[in-house]
Structure 1
Amino acid sequence: MSSTELRLSTFCGFDLDRVPALKKALTEVPGAAAGQSRAVGVTVENAYSALARGNGVSPRNLGLDDGSQGTDSDRSGFTAPSRDAADVAADIGRRLAHLLACQKLQEDGYTIDPSRVFDDEPAPSEQKIKAALAQAKTLIDRDSQWNNTDDVNDLKNKLVGLTAAEAEAVVGQLSDPDLKALNEAFTERHIGIVDISQGLDNNGRIAIANALYPGLSTDQLHRFASAMTSLAPALGGTDGSGNQDQNGIHYQWSNGQLFIDGKAAPSEIQQGDLGDCWFLAGLGAEQQVNPNFAQQHIRDNGNGTYTVTLYQDGKPTPITVDGQLPYNNWNPPQTSFEHSPSGASWVQIYEKAYAQSHGGYANIEGGYGNVSMHDLSGKSSNRVDPDDTSLNDIRSKLDSGVPVTVGTNSHHSGFLWLHSDETFDNHKLVTSHEYIVQSVNNSVDPPTITLRNPWGQGANPPETVTLTQDEFNGHINDVDFGG
């Protein structure tokens, strides 16, 4: 066989002659299995009859019902092939159609991902690919200020409708300048005194990321996501903007592991220069009562993207983000917001997904633990005054698997109490700050409650603090119970 013939008969390691032959053979298995089953049954029936004649008795005396041996495929061992072969053949048929369509795309000059050519997805449509590229070119060739929302949403709808193979082909045809131009078209802006809206709203940006990110190859994902900064949550406008920790803040790809040894713990939470203690405390409280919470709600897509399941009005809402995280321009750069002491990135990915769902990091500053836990779990939650609960009640809730956070009081000092303090009680607690409730100890007198600060390790005030009932009543503003 010549090298040309070999190339034509194989594609991405698949033999284009043998795969169809396998499908055909599997299609024939149910009929062959039934025939073999009948043959075995007849053989067994003849053996019983011969045995009966040799003993001068009726076959019924040997427990043989007339005709049963000819149809008892289960006893003859042919049930599984008869039942499953047709489904397997259909599965291979779908994958084969996908494989051949990917081969055609490559022949026509499109980029394909060799690792995805045998996916069980609908065969990619070159017509859909061309339609998406044509609409993209319309936006690319036009100054972004003249791109109306309808045109941008038309491209969004075409992109959202693509399969993984189709998305790979579309992105592969777009140059880096093309992607930059599309990013400008997608960027949401309001123009003029009549407040004309252009670009994509947050739901549109989330829809594109959810649809395209999980299926792209790593190379194409990095090209696309690095150019499409409009699809990531905005970094500016936070209360700490201009602080040293946010000096030169930018997105940068992270090499950290999602989980260390597949585990996650509240001690890996370490709040950065972002006022989202309420969100991180809620996340830590959920993880504390369910050590697999984060693992159950984050899916690693295997290409540098992650799909986080949040909840809106109690309904699961997937949010897909890439692995680029907010870094400053220190030497070496450090993550500006959440930064786990273990090097795991699961908290940062959760924080980014939550910021994405709200349209930017600035939009998740300030809140209460009950809102965080509701958005994280989809379960009902509530916030109560400390006087309306007790340490014993909180202990009971924790023992039954209910996550709990608390918020501290504000504190003022100085002339006429005009100075707003950051800490109080000899730097024991942070003012107006959300804490994870770690435990309640009823075996001591007086009972105590131990709180974990989402500022994390090495912080001052300390990572954990233990309060008596009186201190709890004096320092805590609200108690938040999850579902």
Structure 2
Amino acid sequence: MMFWGADTAQLSKHATATHGGAARLETLLGTIEQVALSTEWTGADAESFRTRARAEVARGLAAADLLRGLGAELTGHSDEQDDASDGDDGQGVPAVAAALTPETQDELDSLLADALHDGGLEDLRGNSRDLDALAERLAELTPEERAEWIAGLEDDELAALRDAMAADGDGLFWTGGNTDQSRRALLDQLLRDADPADVERISELFPELHPDGRGGGDAAQGTYDVNPDGTVTPPGEVVPEDASWRDVSQGSYGDCVSMATLAMMMDQDPGWAAEHVQDNGNGTVTVTLYDENGDPEPITMPKELPSEDGKVVGAGRGPLADDPTSATWPSYVERALAIQMGGDYSGIEGHGSPEVGPRLTGLDVETIPPTDADAAFDAARRGEPMVVGTSVKLAENDTGPGDWRGGHGYWVDGVSTNDSGEEVIVLRNPHGPDTPTVELTREQYEKYTSSAEVHHD
């Protein structure tokens, strides 16, 4: 059958891109509104500024609604064209022009061939240099161009690319093989703008997109031997407009320090989640972590989470069980960490701030020993981002003050004064916003903590 009329694949891609753009615009506007309205400023000028900010945000939200409407219109046109083409008698208008020029198509095909080619000692198959060159060129394209090129790849070409990327290390004299970070960079380019059908193809072919969900559990909660039996995709917004540290609720995995760090960063900067987690609108999510040099590293993954009996087992386990539409950004940050730190969830358990802090924040970590309570209290008083560990051995009948838990990680929420008039450092538990805080005097701090890590440039 000859095909005439609009190219429905292109219409679908544009519709997906339009919906994704609307979602990103809404997220950005929510961050702008939150920052504008939370600024400490009083007076007539302040009220005038806030009124104008609300009006501008409302205009932006109207634009986002328009984008969604246009996306729905494109989808409708695509469906109508498919229906019309099924009974086509050879009449109609030529298909719309492709996004890729022939020159760009040839260039990308050549880069792919180089990545798949085994040219001997000087150009081994899986050469990280060639794979990086392909990823870098894809990054220079528009989302539409990337999506079109990926849609044109046959399954056997994707499978060959997977095999080339699977070679470990940098190879002999750095001429062959591939690195984990290089793989993640190329998968990011393949996934983030792809058509949902192509996302599904890539997801099925690349096992590294699906970190092993088994883990040792979190002793502080009494969860052990985490064994998911499937995956789920919660229906709620990944990063809602009112995203905050209260969204952080540690799940079954023993990654308390990572979860404490997330809550700490959101307390410091309520826009952190919107800046680091993006729903791409095509069945994928991109989380920006940081590499060993402190440079941003986007990690794109299918929009799924490990589950047991249909319920999320990781970050957000409690809130999502009560309300499946709860925010899921902490869950996807946790998943990105599992991908970055070796490919399984057990690899993110049991780590302290020196290991996970820089990955999440891009900041350096300075350790304050428990014997230096003054330094820790001073940092807390200044509002510096800080995580405290409690890996200490206590006497047999000593259970610690209040809701204190051993072998755990807390984030510091400043200092306060207790009923006795003593200054105390306030620790928040990443098990969830309703978990009681722990308040320690200087003497208790030195007894019940094992270290404090301050995050700074």
Same fold (TM over 0.5): yes
- AA aligned opposite 2:187: A
Measure the CA separation in 2 of the matches of 1:327 and 1:357: 16
Q: Could you tell me how far 1:362 is from its partner in structure 2?
A: 3.2
For residues 385-416 of structure 1, the C-alpha deviation after alignment (integer angstroms, 9 at most, x for no partner) is 23323375144221xxx2121111333666xx
- AA aligned opposite 2:338: A
Q: Could you tell me how far 1:115 is from its partner in structure 2?
A: 12
SS in 2 for 1:151: coil
Q: Could you tell me how far 1:273 is from its partner in structure 2?
A: 2.8
8 Å contact kept, 1:258–1:345: yes
Q: Does 1:349 align with 2:332?
A: yes
What is aligned with 1:470?
A: 443
SS in 2 for 1:272: coil
8 Å contact kept, 1:233–1:355: no
Q: Could you tell me how far 1:456 is from its partner in structure 2?
A: 2.1
- AA aligned opposite 1:283: L
- AA aligned opposite 1:214: R
Q: Does 1:436 align with 2:377?
A: no
- Consecutive unaligned residues in structure 1, runs of 5 or more: 14-113, 140-147, 191-196, 415-420
Q: Could you tell me how far 1:199 is from its partner in structure 2?
A: 6.5
What is aligned with 1:274?
A: 253
Q: Could you tell me how far 1:208 is from its partner in structure 2?
A: 0.8
8 Å contact kept, 2:264–2:411: yes
Q: Does 1:287 align with 2:262?
A: no
What is aligned with 1:358?
A: 341
Provide closer, same or farther for how the CA distance between residues 126 and 254 of structure 1 changes in structure 2, counting only shifts above 3 A.
Answer: same
Q: Does 1:126 align with 2:102?
A: no
- AA aligned opposite 2:300: V
What is aligned with 2:399?
A: 424
8 Å contact kept, 2:147–2:195: yes
8 Å contact kept, 1:325–1:348: no
What is aligned with 1:52?
A: none
- AA aligned opposite 2:412: V
What is aligned with 1:225?
A: 203
Compare CA radii of gyration and give the structure with the larger one.
1
Provide closer, same or farther for how the CA distance between residues 6 and 311 of structure 1 changes in structure 2, counting only shifts above 3 A.
Answer: closer
1:172 to 151, 161, 169: 151
Q: Could you tell me how far 1:443 is from its partner in structure 2?
A: 6.9
Measure the CA separation in 2 of the matches of 1:289 and 1:167: 36
SS in 2 for 1:381: strand
| Identical aligned residues as a percent | 23
- Consecutive unaligned residues in structure 2, runs of 5 or more: 13-94, 170-174, 321-325
Measure the CA separation in 2 of the matches of 1:268 and 1:380: 25
Provide closer, same or farther for how the CA distance between residues 476 and 224 of structure 1 changes in structure 2, counting only shifts above 3 A.
Answer: same
8 Å contact kept, 1:263–1:292: no
8 Å contact kept, 2:380–2:412: no
What is aligned with 2:235?
A: 255
Measure the CA separation in 2 of the matches of 1:433 and 1:275: 9
Q: Aligned runs of 1:121-200 on 2, under 5 Å?
A: 125-131=104-110, 150-153=124-127, 156-157=131-132, 159-160=134-135, 161-162=137-138, 163=141, 164-165=143-144, 167-176=146-155, 179=158, 182-187=161-166, 200=178
Q: Does 1:212 align with 2:186?
A: no
Q: Could you tell me how far 1:441 is from its partner in structure 2?
A: 0.8
8 Å contact kept, 2:232–2:310: no
Measure the CA separation in 2 of the matches of 1:332 and 1:311: 31
SS in 2 for 1:424: coil
8 Å contact kept, 1:149–1:200: no
Provide closer, same or farther for how the CA distance between residues 224 and 178 of structure 1 changes in structure 2, counting only shifts above 3 A.
Answer: same
Q: TM-score, structure 1 length as denominator?
A: 0.59
8 Å contact kept, 2:116–2:125: no
What is aligned with 1:369?
A: 353
Measure the CA separation in 2 of the matches of 1:116 and 1:301: 24
Measure the CA separation in 1 of the matches of 2:157 and 2:229: 25
- AA aligned opposite 1:358: M
SS in 2 for 1:356: helix
Measure the CA separation in 2 of the matches of 1:188 and 1:335: 32
Aligned length: 349
SS in 1 for 2:242: coil
Q: Does 1:385 align with 2:369?
A: yes
What is aligned with 2:390?
A: 408
Q: Aligned runs of 1:311-330 on 2, under 5 Å?
A: 311-312=290-291, 315-328=294-307, 330=308
SS in 1 for 2:426: strand
Q: Could you tell me how far 1:174 is from its partner in structure 2?
A: 4.2
Measure the CA separation in 1 of the matches of 2:438 and 2:394: 21
